[in-house]
Amino acid sequence: MDLLVCEPAQIKETLKEQGVRFCFSGYVDLHGRLKGKIVPLSHFDQMVKGSELYTGAALDGVPQEINDEEVSSHPDVTHGFVLPWNKEVAFFPSNLYNQGKPFEACSRNVLMRQVERAAAAGYKMNLGVETEFFVLRDERFQVAQGERPLGVATGINGVNTVSNRDALDKPCYDMATATDNFHWLIELVDAMDELGWDVYSFDHEDARSQFEIDFMYADVLSMADRVAFFRYMANEIARKHGYFASFMPKPFANMSGSGAHMNMSLEDTATGKNLFQAKTPEEDVKGVGLTQLGIWFIGGILKHARALSLVIAPTINSYKRLVRQGSMSGSTWAPVFVSYGNNNRTNMLRVPLAANRVECRATDISMNPYLASAFMLAAGLEGIEEHIDPGDPHRDNLHKYTAKDVERAGISLLPRNLEEACDAFEADPLAREVFGDAMFESYLSYKRREWEEFVYSVTDWECERYLKFF
């Protein structure tokens, strides 16, 4: 349960009574990976004041020069909790500070700036994220432990499924293979519920050894905290059972990838009213169940969709998932067009049947949840401020559109690779405005290096094709 008392002394005493010995002041780097220091509970008071210092230049993903002053982590004591699998440790999501002020290039600070911008306009963004991921066996580890290799080979050397029955071409929602994974899956679900996240469904997803866990939405900052922590927690629990959790967007070419669909809505801070849901036919301005405000929000996101791609699909591998396929067996289930529509999964932005939110389907599970949410919220707010009209919704199966159909409909494509996404991000003024100069330059530079390393690497595919070809 979240620690809702705000006085550090009270929190310290509560933690001591619960048997907590250590506190983890955790922040994320550029990639959304958790970093931080573990502090004995006896030093909790100092930790809250920012006692823990970090040399940013020594960290991957914290943009600092070697001569810069250290950054310090300041825990958000209202969002802390005890680790479900280790009751001696409490975790606190943290913000980075520099010289006594919020560090501009801290991911959580980037999001908080947009949260404050929304609040000034009378809005609170609520967010739900559908977490998709793989849990796999490392056969080499099993053999090293003297165990017999189990599971089904995946095509990656030494990596198998958890269950030896997980061999279906179309395993989505399969009960047998889901129950084969209950020993670790239920432990993870129980941990999430212990934290108050309210899991409402989980299942075996479309690919072998792929799973999805859905839990209740929250305010955007809390949800970003949860998604960042979820990846860490899922891996820790999987490791207890001898497995590993993978958040690679598309580990297997012949199977579906892992999305992280973002379900967004704006709430009136004064009344708590959902400002997206149309209550009357007159309010439903585009026939998809959304108010004019929701439609403008969509317009802003679509305006910046290509630049957003670098943040919501941030890796080389992400663009192996954003591929159109005609067959639903082995389909990516991912969009390729900058478009929106009703309950139509071929659009980048989908309005589900409940019509109380907007779902972005281009986001994958490798994203930094703070940066993705910040840019998405900023784009949506711009759409509202500038009354951006996204045009009419698309109700057809866009995967069946020919090139002429696409041209006729005036639909643009999402970036096809990381380089295209970098170019779009660099050209979009809103990206720099949201990220700030230091994070913008660092993020873009890192992603361009990632692309260049990929382009100049020699792959197994190349060797198989060309080594003895000529």
Indicate the pLDDT class of residue 143, thresholds 50, 70 and 90. low
Integer Cα distance of 431 and 436 in angstroms: 8
CATH number of this structure's domain 262-461: 3.30.590.10
* pLDDT score of 470 more than 80: yes
pLDDT of residue 400: 86
Strands (E), 352-397: 358-360
Report the alpha-carbon distance of residue 314 to residue 348 in Å, rounded. Answer: 16
Measured CA to CA, the distance from residue 299 to residue 41 in angstroms comes to 48
**Residues forming beta bridges with residue 219, ordered by sequence position:** 126
- Given a cut of 60, is residue 281 above it in pLDDT? yes
8-103 homologous superfamily? Glutamine synthetase, N-terminal domain (3.10.20.70)
pLDDT at 434: 98
Residues 6+ apart with CB under 8 A from 152: 160, 161, 163, 164, 166, 167, 208
Taking alpha carbons only, the member of 131, 130, 132, 135 closest to residue 209 is: 135
pLDDT > 60? residue 45:
yes
3-state helix, strand, coil in the chain (%, to 5): 40, 20, 40
Per-residue model confidence as pLDDT tens digits over 340-390:
999 888 999 999 988 799 999 999 999 999 999 999 999 999 999 999 999
Beta 86-98 vs 22-28: how paired, if at all? parallel
Q: Are 214 and 226 in contact (CB under 8 A)?
A: no
DSSP 387-454: T----SPP-S-GGG--HHHHHHHTPEEPPSSHHHHHHHHHH-HHHHHHH-HHHHHHHHHHHHHHHHHH
pLDDT greater than 90 at residue 254: no
> How far is CA 94 from each of CA 6, 231, 373, 387, 425, rounded to the nearest angstrom?
15, 17, 17, 35, 27
Mean pLDDT of 456-469: 94
- Model pLDDT for residues 221-250, shown as the tens digit of each residue: 999 999 999 999 999 999 999 899 999 999
Confidence of residue 393 (pLDDT cuts 50, 70, 90): very high
Predicted pLDDT at 309: 98
Instruction: Please tell me which of 46-60, 305-319, 385-399 the model is most confident about, judged by mean pLDDT.
Output: 305-319
Pairing of strands 349-350, 340-341: parallel
- Provide the token pair at 450: 């990632």
Tell me 458's DSSP state: P
- Euclidean distance between CA atoms 139 and 150, whole angstroms: 8
Percent of the chain exceeding pLDDT 90 equals: 80
Q: For position 2, what pLDDT does the model report?
A: 46
C-alpha 360 chain-centroid distance: 11
Domain 131-246, CATH number (from 3.30.70.580, 3.40.50.620, 3.30.590.10, 3.50.50.60): 3.30.590.10
Output the average pLDDT for the chain: 92
Residue intervals of the chain classified under CATH 3.30.590.10 are: 131-246, 262-461
Q: Which two tokens stand for residue 170?
A: 């179309």
Question: What are the residue ranges of CATH 3.10.20.70 in the chain?
Answer: 8-103
Residue 25 has pLDDT above 50, yes or no: yes
**Which residue reads 């820790």 in tokens?**
236
pLDDT single digits (tens) 67-97: 888 999 999 999 999 999 999 999 999 999 9
Structure-token pair, residue 1: 């349960």
Is the pLDDT at 332 greater than 90, yes or no?
no
**What pTM, to 2 d.p., does this model score?**
0.94
H-only helix segments in 121-219: 139-144, 175-180, 182-194
Secondary structure, 3-state, 137-161 = EEHHHHHHCCCCCCCCECCCCCEEE
Return the pLDDT at 368.
Answer: 98
More confident residue, 430 or 329: 430
Residue 75 forms beta bridges with which residues? 94
